Amino acid sequence: MTRRTLLSFATAVAAMPQLVAAASVYDYDLETIDYQKLHLSDLKGKVLMIVNVASRCGYTPQYAGLQQLYLRYKDQGFVIIGIPSDDFGQGEPGSNPEIKQFCRRKYDVTFPMMSKSLINVNPRLPIYDYLTDLDQNPKTGGAIKWNFTKFLISRDGKVVNRFEPELEPNDPSLVSAVEKALH
């Protein structure tokens, strides 16, 4: 290889986007249910709970508990982010407008809802690569088993807890973890 070829190669590599592992959830952007961009970096300093949701699932009534949890702690810097997904048992067949209408009408959901996304099937939503990565998050990583898996994110953007679908949003262990993250 000539020096010129090496320099051209080095220039091309330097111009490529960096493939660096994310340091926190703040490194991701999501699309809202209304097709607007949400930069998670805009939520720095808040405690987040990211939940994959579905409107036709045995766990769908958890929307009510999530809404209550959100209302109880939102003024302290707590944000729930619902991400609809049809990856499990076709539990979310609706379009974004249908999902939004269902959530507002049936459960009066006011926490941020994102666009319907793949979270367990490729090409999945990139934030789920981070949330489930066992190297970066050994205590909370691993495959998503079903709808309503809940990831609790600290104010510094790190995953601090994971709650499986069967754990209700009003469960004392979940509420305690949220309160601990807030203080």
The one catalytic residue among 33, 43, 57, 178: 57
Residue closest to 95 by CA, chosen among 71, 65, 116: 116
Which residues have C-beta within 8 Å of that of residue 173, sequence separation ≥ 6?
Answer: 163, 167
Q: Which residues of 138-148 are buried (b: 16+ CB within 10 A; e: fewer)?
A: eebbeebebbb
| Rg of the chain, C-alpha, whole Å | 18
The letter for the amino acid at 139 is: K
**Distance between CA 69 and CA 28 in Å, rounded?**
24
**Distance between CA 109 and CA 107 in Å, rounded?**
5
Does residue 103 carry a catalytic annotation? no
Which three-class secondary structure string do you get for 77-115?
Answer: CEEEEEEECCCCCCCCCCCHHHHHHHHHHHHCCCCCEEC
> Active-site residue numbers?
57
